[in-house]
A and B are shown apart, each in its own frame.
Chain A
């Protein structure tokens, strides 16, 4: 079982819609959670971090964390074609070398 699981997609949404990306993790000791955006051929870019249960909003992005169910989600409101990328979920177990990335969900936003 992988530490972090994501649906590889692609997830296709029309421009202006809400894109919902999900991630599950296996270790209940996980302490911090991150969403990265990675354009093709580029390096990951941190877009959201969340540490406690509930929602965290930043502009068009909302991260949601449910530790009891061991999932993290990312909502992108008013999706734009420029949001088309692969979104990586990452989990930190709190130990230095226990930082795991999922394989990512590819998002396509169609004009």
Chain B
């Protein structure tokens, strides 16, 4: 099981601010993911990474960007937050192998006012 950490856990911020959501894992997993989930709705993949210097966009269009400079770190950045970005953001990582069992961090609940 992965140890995945996300900070901050809760964030309330004004429109137009730049924010970075942090995600770190200590298991050395190469694959990492960012999901967005609204209350009562399904998870949507917004970004993923195969490993260092690899980033891809997921199925859900997102105005956020990600970077992967170190294996354990996969931050997500919003250059200019808007109320439509209000959501829960979940980071996950998966063990090596073809089945991709994903383990989730505790999430960041973002509110943009």
Using CB atoms and an 8 Å cutoff, list the residues of chain A in contact with chain B: 4, 31-32, 34, 41-46, 49, 51, 88, 90, 92, 94, 96-97, 99, 101-104
CB pair A99 B99 closer than 8 Å: no
**What 0/1 pattern do residues 14 to 50 of B give for CB contact below 8 A with A?**
0000000000000000010100000011110100101
Residue of A nearest to B97 (CB): A32
Residue of A nearest to B50 (CB): A96
Query: How far is A103 from B107 in the complex, measured between Cα atoms in Å?
Result: 17
B31, B98, B101, B106: the one contacting A46 at CB < 8 Å is B101
B40, B41, B98, B101: the one contacting A34 at CB < 8 Å is B101
CB pair B90 A97 closer than 8 Å: no
Confirm or deny: B75 has a beta carbon within 8 angstroms of a beta carbon on chain A. Answer: no
A42-B107, A43-B90, A96-B50 known; A103+B42 contact, CB < 8 A: yes
CB pair A96 B48 closer than 8 Å: yes
CB pair B90 A103 closer than 8 Å: no
A42-B106, A43-B106, A96-B50 known; A88+B43 contact, CB < 8 A: yes
CB pair B90 A44 closer than 8 Å: yes
Say how far A53's CB is from chain B's closest CB, in angstroms.
15
A42-B106, A44-B104, A97-B48 known; A92+B99 contact, CB < 8 A: yes
A88-B43, A104-B42 known; A46+B102 contact, CB < 8 A: yes
Say how far A81's CB is from chain B's closest CB, in angstroms.
21
A97-B56, A97-B58, A97-B59 known; A46+B43 contact, CB < 8 A: no
Q: Would you list 15 pairs from A and B whose C-beta atoms are within 8 A, ordered by A residue?
A: A4-B42, A31-B98, A32-B100, A32-B101, A43-B90, A44-B90, A44-B104, A46-B102, A49-B99, A88-B43, A92-B100, A94-B98, A96-B31, A99-B45, A103-B42
Query: How far is A41 from B56 in the complex, measured between Cα atoms in Å?
Result: 27
A sample of 6 more A-B contacts (CB under 8 A), given A97-B56, A97-B59, A102-B42, is A44-B104, A46-B103, A49-B101, A88-B42, A101-B42, A103-B40
Say how far B82's CB is from chain A's closest CB, in angstroms.
23
